[in-house]
Structure 1
Amino acid sequence: MADGSGTELVLGTIAPISGVRPGSTFEAPVIFGNKGTQALQKVWLRYTVTQGLDYADVPSNCVRWDIGSYDELPARSQMTCEFDQAVEPGVVYAPEKLTLKALDRALYEDLDVAVGDYDFGPDEGASRPVRGTAPAAKLGERPGSVLTGSSSGNHDYAEDRVRVKAANTADFQVSGARLKGRVGDTVDLQVKFINAGPAWVLVNPGPPVPTRVLIKIPSGTTAVKAPECKKPAAGTYDCYVAQGWVEEDQVNTYSFKLKIDKAAAGAKGSVALNAESRPYDVNKANDKADILLDVEGSGSTGGSGSAGGSASSGESGTTGSGATGNSSATGSSGSASTTGGNLAATGSGPALPLAGAAAAVVAAGAGTVLLVRRRAARR
């Protein structure tokens, strides 16, 4: 570091990576050097990747941790490699045998790389360390390379983050319902948001996910119990899907209790994703579904449209008012995701209330996520 010790590490700027196919391997163009006047006898290189990426091999001079989601951060993994090689001033180096791979769930991923003159250690929430067994990685010289990028300056590491975009899709869809009852009855309504995958979707800083499901209940009914959603108009509910990311196989269930006030001709509601761009979702046919209502004894029916889901009917029942969700998200994180209403999808268990800056973001309807790094203390 540039503190009188005569060393200054510089990490070359990493260009965004795109077109990576799930199941394939690739190398990130990582280079670094020492712009100081004295050699460093040892350096550490750290890779941190989001849950759609993994390491093809973990060399024997590297240690790997898996890190579960917490706060506004999704699950990820970290690998730190120790290079017992001199890093001479004015020489550009690149790591060898450090290869990444894209998992089936990969879509918008983050790769964070840091080089420092000390062992970084694990981030918060890390699993037990696993020492690599593949042949040790080495540093190779890159003569002629021009080094511009992040400098350690008065710190002891230099860092850069890059977006990795995989050639993959995620099928966001909704399911409706068919209701049946008499005037005066209270019936249960459940509609769903589903990410049928295969990819999970990370928002920041990539394209936004459809952070809302728009639900219109059939005319002639009143919601006596509803999820914690915005209500922009009578009989209309604007419900969040997730805060910063949506897991593959995530299911959000939005539960209502509707009282049938009167028989309205052609009474029909709907559930639909909002109109935000979703370039990864190529199947638009399942982005909207009907909520059909048959009022017994009146000859009134909601029509013959597709409800996109199973029938739902009954009296008052005991269904809760909140939107609940369940998923079987799998991959390097090994975590499940549960979300509902306007709560965050954390990828690690029951939905939690939004707090702090994240709540302000959700209140604005942006559906973004604050990526806050929590770094372990030096040694």
Structure 2
Amino acid sequence: MPIPPHPRRAPRAVAATLGAVGLIALATAPAAFGDEAAPELVVGGVAPVKGLKPGDGFDLSATVANKGTGAAEKVWISYAVTRGLDFAEVPSNCRTQQVRPYDEMPERWIAVCAFDQVVEPGTVYTPEKPLRVEVLDRALNDELRVNVWDVDPGADENGSTPVAGTAPAVKLVEGQAGSEGSARVVTVPISTVNTADYQVTGAALKGSVGDEVTMKVKFTNAGPAWIMPRPGERSVSVRITPPAGTSVIKRGQFCRAEGKGYVCGMRSMNEGGQETYTFELKIDKRVANAKGQVALSTEARPFDPNKANDKADITLDVTGGEPTGSTGGPADASGGPADTSGGSSTAGDDGTTTNGDILAETGSSTLPLAGAAAAAVAVGAGTLLAVRRHRARSTD
């Protein structure tokens, strides 16, 4: 059964004073509170892991030390892994929860293990058996986070119902001195040798001069790996140039005008994830051999060795009207007054974004939505975001 939430204890000195002499003793409570010894738990023994392959597994061990002046009557250790990893065997004194992506955090699995043991100051402990982690087919650049608590962190409100493990319970045993850490939370990268194939799909358009036509082009992460861009890293974008002789009536969602084309983002970098960009075009004139293009941006992607599908043509077959021009170069697709789309997105000057704007499968774009709609969401969600981040720290 899931471990129920455990409220923070009232300070023992304060509780005893109130119970013994009633409300009159409140005047002495601040002094008693300030003098009370308190635990200060830290986690250690957690290191990055690299060179893994899909199907591998590794043992996750950690140490817990008490650097405070008082004993911790009970300890909780929280382990969180991103979606390329999973827990193989979970002890019965632990509960697991799948948490969907929200705010700046990706989808992850969390295991919270409760140890009903006193942790004295100056002593190092470690679980008697490490937690086993398995590497999934979609793993590439993942992340592990370990926290330690002296109160139950509770379940994440954005996650599934916690489920208790079925493997034998484990307890803390005394560890080796000198292996204690210095922080309550430790985050390390977990790297797997794998690839992900980013690809784009073009379109074949047909119509007469004066017609309005729909253009649909697509981005796909064909996998097998999912991608978790890290803070500060340049993220892929899609560059779309409509065919010459056309004007854009409505741009695609998550796209913004740039020069003679558009820069577009995507909501998800998960394996199998797709984004379709739908544009409404008007055929203004017939241009000989008119052809546009959809292409990935050119930042380095060492995980994606297949460059053959990074570009695709957008062809246009115009019936009626006399052909003009001879090369079919890109149209002037900067949008202008004819571009009526309200679904534009924003990015940096180079058209790229960073991980803080990627909310996989939440409906948010890697290129943050701009304009009045986004402003309204930001104003309305400010307080909620703060609450969520405070809640998220239960797994930080």
TM-score by length of 2: 0.71
1:57 is the counterpart of 2:89: yes
CA displacement at 1:224 relative to structure 2: 1.8
Question: 1:14-64, CA deviations, whole angstroms, 9 ceiling, x for partnerless residues?
Answer: 332222222221123422212345543421111122222211111011111
Secondary structure at the aligned position of 1:202 is classed as: coil
**1:52-91 matched pairs, under 5 angstroms:** 52-91=84-123
SS at match of 1:140: strand
Shift in Å, 1:181:
2.1
Match of 1:284 among 304, 307, 312: 307
Alpha-carbon distance in structure 2 between the residues aligned to 1:20 and 1:261 = 55
* Equivalent residue in structure 2 for 1:219, among 244, 251, 258: 244
* Cα drift, residue 289 of structure 1: 0.7
Pick aligned residue for 1:140 from 155, 165, 173: 173
1:345: how far off?
Answer: 6.2
Partner of 1:317: none
Taking the TM superposition and a 5 Å limit, the aligned residue runs for 1:32-181 are 32-95=64-127, 96-150=129-183, 158-181=184-207
SS in 2 for 1:70: coil
* Contact kept? 1:42, 1:87, Cα under 8 Å: yes
Larger Rg: 2
Moved more, 84-93 or 274-283: 84-93
Contact 2:126 2:172 in 1 (8 A): yes
- Give the C-alpha shift of residue 144 in structure 1: 4.7
Could you tell me how far apart the structure 1 residues matched to 2:258 and 2:175 are? 59
Paired position in structure 2 for 1:315? none
**Which residue is equivalent to 2:212?**
186
Residue 240 in 1 paired to residue 257 in 2? Answer: no
The answer on whether the counterparts of 2:123 and 2:177 sit within 8 Å (CA) in structure 1 is no
Is 1:205 equivalent to 2:231 in the alignment?
Answer: yes
Aligned to 2:283: 260
| C-alpha spacing 1:302/1:355, structure 2 compared with 1 (3 Å) | closer
Q: Name the SS for the 1:374 alignment partner.
A: helix
Q: In the aligned structure 1, how far is the partner of 2:321 from the partner of 2:369?
A: 45
Percent identity between the aligned chains? 47
CA distance in 2, matches of 1:272, 1:377: 41
Deviations 1:146-175 (A, max 9, x none): 33421xxxxxxx112222222222111100
Quickly say closer, same or farther: Cα 1:372–1:102, change in 2 above 3 A: farther
Residue 59 of structure 2 corresponds to residue 27 of structure 1: yes
Deviations 1:273-327 (A, max 9, x none): 1112222212111111111122235796999xxxxxxxxxxxxxxxx96889xxx
Instruction: State the SS of the aligned residue for 1:271.
Output: strand
Whole-Å Cα distance in 2 between the matches of residues 292 and 104 of structure 1?
37
CA deviation string 1:258-279 (max 9, x = no partner) = 2222221221110011112222
Assess, with a 3 A threshold, how the Cα gap between structure 1 residues 273 and 123 changes in structure 2: closer, same or farther: same
1:126 Cα shift? 2.4
If each structure's strand is expressed as a fraction of its own residues, which one has the higher value? 1
Q: Distance in 2 between matches of 1:36 and 1:204?
A: 34
The separation in 2 between residues aligned to 1:128 and 1:355, in whole angstroms, is: 35
SS at structure 2 position matched to 1:23 = coil
Secondary structure at the residue paired with 1:99?
A: strand
Contact 1:294 1:302 in 2 (8 A): no
> Which is worse superposed, 178-187 or 200-209?
200-209
Summarize the Cα distance change of 1:136–1:38 in structure 2 as closer, same or farther, 3 Å threshold: same
Q: Helix, strand or coil for the counterpart of 1:160?
A: strand
Q: CA deviation at 1:233?
A: 1.7
Q: Distance in 2 between matches of 1:180 and 1:302?
A: 18
- Which residue of 1 is the match for residue 297 of structure 2? 274
Structure 1 unmatched runs, 5+: 151-157, 304-319, 325-343, 361-369
Q: Which residue does the alignment assign to 1:374?
A: 391
Tell me, what secondary structure is at the counterpart of 1:259? strand
Inter-partner Cα distance in structure 1 for 2:131 and 2:370? 38
Give the structure-1-normalised TM-score: 0.74
Kept after mapping to 2: 8 A contact 1:98/1:137:
no
Instruction: Kindly indicate whether the alpha-carbon contact (under 8 Å) linking 1:42 and 1:117 is maintained by their aligned counterparts in 2.
Output: yes
The residue number in structure 1 matching 2:48 is 16
Counterpart for residue 153 of structure 1:
none
**TM-aligned CA deviation for residue 190 of structure 1:** 0.6
CA contact (8 A) 1:171 1:198 kept: yes
CA distance in 1, matches of 2:62, 2:232: 22
Query: What is the rounded CA distance, in whole Å, between the counterparts of 2:325 and 2:141 in structure 1?
Result: 40
RMSD: 3.4
Quickly say closer, same or farther: Cα 1:376–1:204, change in 2 above 3 A.
closer
Q: CA deviation at 1:72?
A: 3.3
8 Å CA contact 1:97–1:138 kept in 2: the answer is no
Q: Which moved more, 1:286-295 or 1:65-74?
A: 65-74
